[in-house]
Amino acid sequence: MYPGGLVTLALSICSTGVFAFPSPLKDIAERSIDTKDSEPDILWEKYGLNTSAEYKYFHEPGRDDILGHYDIRFFNGTVSDEERAVTLTHMTRAYLNFFNENDLETWISHGTLLGWWWNGKILPWDWDIDTQVLDTTLIYLADHYNHTRVKYTGDETTLDREFLLDVNPWARQRVRGQGHNIIDARWIDIKTGLYIDITGLSKLNVSTPDVWECKNGHKYSTVDLYPLRRSMFEGVPASVPFQYDAILIEEYKDKALAATNFHNHTWYPDLKEWVMDDEETIASRDNQDPKDDRQYEK
């Protein structure tokens, strides 16, 4: 929702939180309570990952709001807003179904969770879908399901799609490292290159065994996440954090749960939908003081 602000926030949290940690060389599979410098570097020995030369694994064709949401390996031009919306919806359903069928734990997060809270759907202005898994699940995915291609047929027969589960090799390094690989895995639409971001949560700090962190500095307490609640998202079963409202307020502040105008969309309670404002409204809004022009409903 506020990508710039979030990233800055995340970076600032990370810079204080992660660098204070004694050793950045930690492997989830072999994690021990007290890491000593003499401990063998499992990332290097077992997986050939040299932490001093961390490279970026996932690449995008560009960094802006549009190009930043395609995986470069499958990118063949930007798609229309309509196709993007359709793709994101089916991609999300396929992802949730895949995790359900294989008894893998995942839940929706960030802007996707906010969309769930409003009406169980993706926010129409949201370009990326975010999900989270525990680090144990992440490593399990890496060991057993990496590079799985999943065929998917939507409601309409024309919608045959194929999705790729791609786990970042750097997912085994649970600290932020050089910050090139904060996304641990992707669920990629092979046809368009659009993707779902999958991030793993780990307990990074021994002194706070109750706190789960992603590589981007978001922190969650166990009691806010667990037990996961079962609900529906985009028409398929999905899990959400136990205290989803506390998590949303923490990340997006109160207004995100109250204001009915966002990114040129207006919330219609009766329709239960965010509807794109017509151009006139947008134009008049742009011409006026942004505080006076908003349209509110009862």
Partner 1 sequence: MAVHPDNDSIYFSDDTSDDGFHYVANNENSPFRLTRYSRSLIDFVRNEWQNSAKYSSSPYNSPSTRPSARHGIHVAVSLISAPRFRRYVFVYLILLLSLIAGWKWVLSPQLAEHTSLLVSLGPQSKLAAGGWYGTNALPELENIVRIRSLNPNLLPRPMENPESRRRLIFIGDVHGCKDELTELLEKTTFNPSNDHLIFTGDLITRGPDSLGVVDLARKHSASCVRGNNDDQVLILRHSMPGSKDLDEISKSPDTKTNSKTNKPLSKTSQARNLARQLTDEQAEWLDTCPVILKVGQIPKMGEVVVVHAGLVPGVEFEKQDPVSVMNMHSIDLETHVPSASRKGVKWTKLFNKDQSLLYSRIKNTVADPLSKMTTVIYGHDSKSGLSIKSYTKGLDSGCVNGGKLTALVISDGGKQEYVQVRCRDYQGSNLR
Region 120-179 residues binding partner 1, contact defined as CB under 8 A: 120, 134, 136
Structure tokens at 227: 């037990």
Q: For partner 1, give the closer residue by CB, 11 or 246.
A: 246
Angle at 93 between CA 155 and CA 197, to 5 degrees: 145
Q: For partner 1, give the closer residue by CB, 1 or 249.
A: 249
| Shortest Å distance, C-beta 292 to partner 1 | 9
* 20 contributes a contact to partner 1 by CB under 8 A: no
| Shortest Å distance, C-beta 244 to partner 1 | 7
Q: Report the run of H or E that residue 236 belongs to, with start and end.
A: strand 236-240
3-class SS of residue 171: helix
Q: For partner 1, give the closer residue by CB, 95 or 116.
A: 116
Q: For partner 1, give the closer residue by CB, 171 or 194.
A: 171
* 77 contributes a contact to partner 1 by CB under 8 A: no
Selected from 82, 101, 103, 279, the binder of partner 1 by CB under 8 A is 103
Contacts for 188 with CB less than 8 Å, ≥ 6 apart: 71, 73, 74, 163, 164, 166, 194, 195, 196
Q: Report the run of H or E that residue 246 belongs to, with start and end.
A: helix 244-252
* 259 contributes a contact to partner 1 by CB under 8 A: yes
| Shortest Å distance, C-beta 272 to partner 1 | 4
Give, in order, the Cα–Cα distances in Å from 97 to each of 140, 161, 232, 235, 284.
17, 14, 11, 11, 43
* 118 contributes a contact to partner 1 by CB under 8 A: yes
Q: At what angle do helices 244-252 and 110-119 cross, to 10 degrees?
A: 120
Contacts for 53 with CB less than 8 Å, ≥ 6 apart: none
Q: Which amino acid is at 137?
A: T
* 58 contributes a contact to partner 1 by CB under 8 A: no
| Shortest Å distance, C-beta 56 to partner 1 | 29
* 116 contributes a contact to partner 1 by CB under 8 A: yes
Q: Which stretch binds partner 1 (CB under 8 A): 66-74, 150-158, 188-196, 289-297?
A: 289-297
Task: Tell me the pairing of strands 195-201 and 129-134.
Answer: parallel
* 206 contributes a contact to partner 1 by CB under 8 A: yes
Distance, CA of 1 to CA of 78 (rounded, Å): 21
Distance, CA of 259 to CA of 262 (rounded, Å): 7
* 278 contributes a contact to partner 1 by CB under 8 A: no
Residues in touch with partner 1 (CB under 8 A) = 31-33, 103, 105, 116-120, 134, 136, 203, 206, 209-210, 221-223, 226-233, 242-246, 249, 254-255, 257-261, 267, 269, 272, 294, 296-297
